[in-house]
Amino acid sequence: MGNIVNRVFESSGPEGKVRGTPQQIIDKYNQLARDAQLGNDRVAAENFQQHAEHYLRMLGAAQKEQDARREQQERENRDRQAERDRAERPDRPKRPDHEPAEAVDMANAPQPDLEPAQEREESSLVETPESQKAEKPKRPRKPRAKKVQPEAGDDGQKASAAAESGSDAAEAAE
């Protein structure tokens, strides 16, 4: 039968031929059925729906067949992998995949003795910020001292000196 999902069909419907994959043909017949319903032609709408249903059933059967083939291949692949695993580890007891391994009761298992943190002087454990002693908070910094503003007389002299040097630079540039 081949791959029906991707195969191109040519359908002879009531309004001529419809060509495409089953999904395309289903979509086309559904559109024609909607158009017929809008035109109040119930007989034509039912006819188009029956054509769409035919291709829908073909597509569904093909997809089920593909899914069954895919599952069969996956089962075979799992079986092959299990055989390879068994061949690599012959000393392990063979156990079916569906049987659970024996559960270990951890409540009755021996527990390690833990010593208190004060008694542990040297440990291979990593220190975390929570386990370290808290440091003293740092004192806030003192505010910066304010700059002393030059007196008016000094400022005027500096401004005139800057203006003179600026005028000298301007003259030198010319």
Name the residue ranges covered by the structural domains of the chain. 9-88
Q: Which one is predicted more confidently, 6 or 115?
A: 6
DSSP three-state, residue 171: helix
Asked if pLDDT for residue 33 goes beyond 90, the answer is yes
H or E element in which residue 76 lies: helix 42-88
Q: Which two tokens stand for residue 80?
A: 């092959």
Q: Which one is predicted more confidently, 145 or 36?
A: 36
Asked if 55 and 11 touch (Cβ cutoff 8 Å), the reply is yes
Res 87: pLDDT:
84
Q: Which one is predicted more confidently, 111 or 172?
A: 111
Q: Which one is predicted more confidently, 130 or 41?
A: 41
What DSSP assignment string belongs to 101-132?
PPPP-TTSS-------TTT-SS-SSPP-TTTS
Asked if pLDDT for residue 101 goes beyond 60, the answer is no
* Beta carbons within 8 Å of 37's beta carbon, 6+ residues apart: 45
CA distance 128 to 130: 5
Q: Which two tokens stand for residue 158?
A: 């500096």
Task: Give the model confidence (pLDDT) of 131-140 as tens digits.
Answer: 666 666 777 7
Query: Mean pLDDT over residues 6-20, rounded?
Result: 83
Q: Which one is predicted more confidently, 54 or 151?
A: 54
Q: How many helices (H) and strands (E) does the chain have?
A: 3, 2
- Give me the percent of the chain exceeding a pLDDT of 70: 62
Asked if 11 and 17 touch (Cβ cutoff 8 Å), the reply is yes
* Beta carbons within 8 Å of 20's beta carbon, 6+ residues apart: 8, 9, 28
Residue 100: alpha-carbon gap to chain centroid: 32
User: Helix, strand, coil shares of the chain as percentages rounded to 5?
Assistant: 50, 5, 45
